[in-house]
Every structure is written in C-alpha cells, then in structure tokens.
C-alpha cells in the first residue's frame, strides 16, 4: 500500500483545525509572534476576539493560557517547538503539575525544518514533555491527521503538547482514514509479520517506503503511525513484539527519550525483542535541505530498511 | 451571590491580622520549617484583601465568578493559610497540616490541595501571567470579577515578570491589580546585595501601569489602596507596599535569617508574647 498522493504539512492541519473550532466560544488561541508560521493566524483572521497576542515571550504565554483554562476556556497556545522549551518549567509547574488543560503546539520541530539550522531544529521536545506527569504528547505525520488529532484535543481533559512540522510531506491519510484516529492509539498502515516499524511525524513516509523495499526482498513489515508518544499504545507495541519479534522505531528526533526511547522502555519491561532506533544520533543538526539532512543523519527509507534487517538478524 | 469582603472596619481588620500573625508563627514553629518573614510582611494586605474586598464564596470555593487571588510568592503560604482560615475556607486543624504528608496546607500554596487557593505556586515569576489569563477570561465572559496578584520584590528579578508587565499594558487589562511586597529581603540576603531593584514604583510606571505606594502595615492605607486599584479600569494597577519582613516579631523584623527559618522554642514563646 503506497501513501495517498498529494502533500500537506502538519502545521497546516493544526491551523485548519483551529479554524474549524471558531464556533466554540470556549476555544482561545494564544500566539507568541509566530502565528503566521504555526498557522494559528487562520483562527486569528476569523476570530480576533478570542486570539491573544503575547509577543516574543513564551514563558508568559504558558501561564496566561493556564489562567484562562482555570476560568473555563480551552487554550491552544503555539510557538516553535524549540521556543516552547524556553517555557518548559512553566509547563511543568504551571500546567502539568496542577493538571490544567492547556494545549501547546510546537511547530517546526525536528531537523526536517531544514535551512534555519540547528538552533531552530528541536530534537528533544518529545523527550522532555514525555517526562511530565499528566501530559499527552503527540506528533502527527501530515496535515490531515494533525487536523483530526487537534480537533480531538478540544474534548481531551489533560494538558497536551503536539509537535507539528514545517514542510509538506506525502499524505498518509485521507479524511476517511483520519476519522478513525484516536489519541493514544497507534494507527496501522500496513501489516506484515517479519518486522514492525513504529514511526511518527515526517518519518512515517520513510517507514512506508522502507516497507515497500523490504517487501521486494521478501520481508513483510507492519508499519504503525505512533502519533501519540504519551500515553503510549503499549498494548499494540507488545502485540507487535509478539507477532513480529523485531521492532524498528523511526522519528525526526533524538534517539534518546522520544518515540524510540518510549518504545524501548515498553519492550524492555513487557516483552523483550530486538529494537533498532532510527533518529538523530545524539548530535545537533545544521543548515541544509530536509532530504539532505535526513540522508546525512541516516534517517531515510534505506536506513530504516537496514535497521529492520539488523533487528531481524538479532532475533 | 457572595459579597465583597467581610464587612469589617479598620480595627477589626487589625485584630484579624494579629490573629493571622500568631497562626503564621504557630504553623512554622509546629513543623520546624517554612517561610515566616514574607508571610508576616504580606499579612496586612492579605487581611485587607480578604476582609475588605475579595468576593468569594466559602461554601463553593470553585464558584466561577469569584474574584481571583494569585499568591505568586507561594512560599509565603502560612500567610495565605492563616487568612483562608479567617475567611472560612480552612478549619484551625487544617492549619496544622502545614507541610505534612497529605495535608491541605502544602509547603507552597497549591490549588489542587487547598480550598480557596486559585493558583499553584512555588516557582517564582509565574503568578502575574496566570493573573493576566484570569483577567482576560473575565473580560471575555463580560464579568466584573477581578484578578489580584501578589508579587515579592525579589521575585521581580525573574524575567517572566516583565513579560507579563508588558502584556498587561498592551492588552489594557483594567481588571488586574498587582501588589508588590517590597520588604527588601530575599532568600540569601537583602535584595540590595543580590540584585539591586532601585525604584520599583518607577519601573512599573515606566511600563505604563498606574502605581500607588503605601505603608503596607497601615491598615487604613491598605484599604484605601485596594479601593484605589478598583477604580483603575483603563489598565493594570500596581500597589507597591513598603513592608518590613517579619513584621510583628522583633527578632524576625528586617532579618534575612527568617526568610525561610523556623523559630526555636524560646523564640516561639517570645513571638507569642509579642503578638498577644
């Protein structure tokens, strides 16, 4: 099964979802001078009364959102993934600790962000937010799934962090398939019994391409979009470990602490099988094209295929 | 529909503040830890706010249209707990759970543990931003509820405070009032030695706030300042109250040692005598 044609950036899906929520007066949108980039500008254009500009001041934005939430509103606050990290302790103490429902979106995450260079390429956001009790952490792969998951957040009764990406990628979802998405449940895109590739974000496409090439070599892979890193769909992961006996994770994030770390923790505790992690190997990125960077950092489909073969050989 | 304050006159407010001071010292002595100095400097204003102004419902601490009080300097929790007891949110026995396992009176004020507390504090610099969120929400609701935020003077060293100071003016938040407890002492020593603050009132005024300076231990001035802040409706108001850290207990007054330390038995007995 190949990915449906066309392309979309997950940040566009976030903006489209906000726009779809303009009819709900409880929804408020908070910006830190990056509305045009995160796509919260789409909501602002329709409903400025419920959009709060807070300037280049992320720490303040986190707690303003918390205050609005405790007064009955559903805040969606966004900035770049990397700048959200400046307010990490505010998220920790001001949002997650009192379990205040604020939905934080960090766009332009990962090295896929490209030419802006390493200062803009957050490769640790999923890891750090995952450590916080009460937090839900997500990283959808395309615009259609990002829209569906953002819409689902309106009824989600916990604080969340969602990373979106800057660049368009091939769509892995249609409106119909995205309608099946549930926060906390991995979505199976392809089924095979030899190896399981668990991916998120822009690497889902690479994972699907890897599965095609493995199939040509007689290796059948299951490919899962693990759009929710926390709470992790451990039931599915254990099932995949039992069925396939070898797992590869793929993410545009450090191999430390993100999807790969979360899956490895689950596997070690529940059902040990070989796990190979594709991601950024404990280094920072640099300026370059998205594909150039994926290639240089060994995060392309062929790298995932090789990792699958390594995992199978270790079985 | 709850009423504003408790309908107390100045003499009654002063008596209430004295009872609070006794309970502050008792709480800190009882557990052998905590922050008496900043509680004692803040307590006259806390008494003024709860006794004279805040519209809250002791039968329903989560009543949506209550005024919000955000204690950003959350370590001064004994001060907050003592006034919440006077206001009827906490029983006297609740006070003795201060810093104890499972107690409603956590080390730093926490909305998830204590009825009547609107903000989970403990990490300095965050309360003003939270108050801005509460005030913006009140405006969206077309409600007359007001957000009151108390900041420490040492706390003003946190950068987030100035992010909030700018935002409150930019958004012309008239239903937000801030009180700065200018007691001149922070954890390690006098503020002057840690990070000079210069003229705090001038700083807020320079950002566009309406500012009033008072003696934070003169109850009439406290009440007048609260009424003044209520009248400022075209933007945020800031009351800079000059206070004495440890006010009311001779050996704690203006003594950096009692920012975060409990008295020993002899000192406790002396404090009770002085506050009788």
Query: Residue B184 in 3-state DSSP?
Result: coil
> What's the number of domains chain B is made of?
1
Chain centre to alpha carbon of residue B222: 12
Q: Which residues of A touch B146 (CB under 8 A)?
A: none
Residue A191 has pLDDT above 80, yes or no: yes
Whether residue B167 is contained in a domain is answered as yes
Does the distance separating the beta carbons of A71 and B167 come in below 8 Å?
no
Q: What is the pLDDT of residue B1?
A: 59
Is the Cβ–Cβ distance between A189 and A29 less than 8 Å?
A: no
- Tell me if residue A58 is catalytic: yes
Does the distance separating the beta carbons of A59 and B125 come in below 8 Å?
yes
Whether residue B3 is contained in a domain is answered as no
Q: Which member of A20, A31, A58, A295 is catalytic?
A: A58
Residue A2 has pLDDT above 70, yes or no: no
Q: Does A93 touch chain B (CB under 8 A)?
A: yes
Closest residue in B to A56 (Cα) is B163
Q: Does A59 touch chain B (CB under 8 A)?
A: yes
Closest residue in B to A92 (Cα) is B123
What DSSP character marks residue A100? -
Range of the domain at B166: 10-274
Whether residue B233 is contained in a domain is answered as yes
pLDDT in tens, B56-115: 999 999 999 999 999 999 999 999 999 999 999 999 999 999 999 999 999 999 999 999
Is the Cβ–Cβ distance between A210 and A278 less than 8 Å?
A: no
Return averaged pLDDT per consecutive 10 residues of chain B, 276 residues in all. 89 98 98 97 98 97 97 98 98 97 97 97 97 98 98 98 98 98 96 95 98 98 98 98 98 96 97 97
Whether residue B2 is contained in a domain is answered as no
Closest residue in A to B162 (Cα) is A60
Indicate which CATH number applies to the domain containing B105. 3.40.50.970
Nearest CB to A67 within list B110, B134, B171: B134
Domains and CATH numbers, chain A: 8-170 (3.40.50.970), 187-313 (3.40.50.920)
Q: How far is it, in rounded angstroms, from Cα B117 to Cα B56?
A: 11
CA distance A70 to chain B (A): 8
Q: Which residues of B touch A24 (CB under 8 A)?
A: none
The dihedrals phi and psi of A27, each to the nearest 5 degrees, come to: -80, 125
- Beta pairing, strands B237-242 & B176-182: parallel
Does the distance separating the beta carbons of B131 and A55 come in below 8 Å?
no
Q: Which residues of A touch B133 (CB under 8 A)?
A: 63-71, 75
Helix axes B10-31, B265-274, angle to 10 degrees: 170
Does the distance separating the beta carbons of A67 and B137 come in below 8 Å?
yes
Whether residue B118 is contained in a domain is answered as yes
Whether residue B68 is contained in a domain is answered as yes
Matching residue, tokens 């009351």:
B239
């Amino acid at each position: 099964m190949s990915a449906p044609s066309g392309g979309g950036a997950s940040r566009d899906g976030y903006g489209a979802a906000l726009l779809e929520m303009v009819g709900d007066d409880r929804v408020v949108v908070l910006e830190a001078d990056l509305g045009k980039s995160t796509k919260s500008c789409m909501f602002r254009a329709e409903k400025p009364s419920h959009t709060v500009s807070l300037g280049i001041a992320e720490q303040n934005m986190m707690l303003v959102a918390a205050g609005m939430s405790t007064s009955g509103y559903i805040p969606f606050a966004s900035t770049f993934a990397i700048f959200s990290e400046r307010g990490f302790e505010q998220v920790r103490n001001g949002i997650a600790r009192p379990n205040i429902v604020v939905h934080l979106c960090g766009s332009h995450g990962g090295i896929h962000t490209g030419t802006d260079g390493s200062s803009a390429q957050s490769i640790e956001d999923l890891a750090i937010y995952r450590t916080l009790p009460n937090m839900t952490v997500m990283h959808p792969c395309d615009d259609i799934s990002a829209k569906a998951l953002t819409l689902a957040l309106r009824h989600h009764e916990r604080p969340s962090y969602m990373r979106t990406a800057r660049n368009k990628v091939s769509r892995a979802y249609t409106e119909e398939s995205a309608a099946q998405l549930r926060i906390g449940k991995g979505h199976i895109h392809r089924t095979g019994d030899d190896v399981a590739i668990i991916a998120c974000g822009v690497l889902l496409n690479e994972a699907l391409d890897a599965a095609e090439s493995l199939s040509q070599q007689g290796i059948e892979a299951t490919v899962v979009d693990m759009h929710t890193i926390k709470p992790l769909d451990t039931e599915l992961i254990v099932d995949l470990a039992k069925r396939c006996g070898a797992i590869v994770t793929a993410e545009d994030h450090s191999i430390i602490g993100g999807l790969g770390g979360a899956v490895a923790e689950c596997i070690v505790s529940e059902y040990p099988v070989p796990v190979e992690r594709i991601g950024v190997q404990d280094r920072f990125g640099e300026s370059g094209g998205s594909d150039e960077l994926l290639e240089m950092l060994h995060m392309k489909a062929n790298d995932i295929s090789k990792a699958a073969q390594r995992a199978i050989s270790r079985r | 529909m709850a009423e504003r304050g408790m309908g107390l006159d100045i003499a009654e407010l002063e008596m209430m503040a004295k009872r609070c001071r006794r309970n502050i010292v008792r709480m800190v002595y009882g557990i052998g830890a905590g922050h008496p100095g900043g509680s004692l400097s803040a307590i006259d204003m806390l008494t003024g706010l709860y006794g004279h102004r805040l519209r809250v419902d002791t039968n329903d601490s989560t009543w949506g249209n209550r005024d919000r009080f955000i204690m950003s300097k959350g370590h001064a929790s004994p001060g907050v707990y003592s006034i919440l007891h006077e206001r009827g949110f906490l029983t006297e026995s609740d006070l003795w759970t201060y810093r104890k396992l499972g107690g409603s009176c956590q080390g730093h004020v926490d909305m998830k543990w204590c009825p009547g507390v609107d903000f989970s504090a403990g990490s300095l610099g965050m309360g003003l931003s939270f108050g801005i969120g509460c005030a913006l929400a009140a405006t969206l609701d077309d409600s007359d509820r007001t957000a009151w935020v108390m900041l420490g003077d040492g706390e003003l060293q946190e950068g987030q405070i100035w992010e909030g100071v700018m935002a409150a003016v930019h958004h012309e938040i008239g239903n937000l009032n801030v009180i700065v407890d200018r007691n001149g002492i922070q954890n390690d020593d006098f503020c002057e030695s840690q990070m000079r603050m210069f003229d705090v009132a001038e700083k807020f005024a320079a950002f566009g706030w309406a500012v009033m300076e008072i003696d934070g231990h003169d109850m009439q001035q406290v009440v007048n300042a609260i009424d003044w802040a209520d009248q400022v409706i075209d933007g945020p108001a800031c009351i800079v109250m000059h206070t004495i850290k440890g006010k009311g207990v001779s050996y704690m007054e203006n003594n950096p040692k009692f920012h975060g330390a409990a008295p020993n038995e002899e000192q406790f007995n002396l404090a009770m005598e002085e506050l009788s």
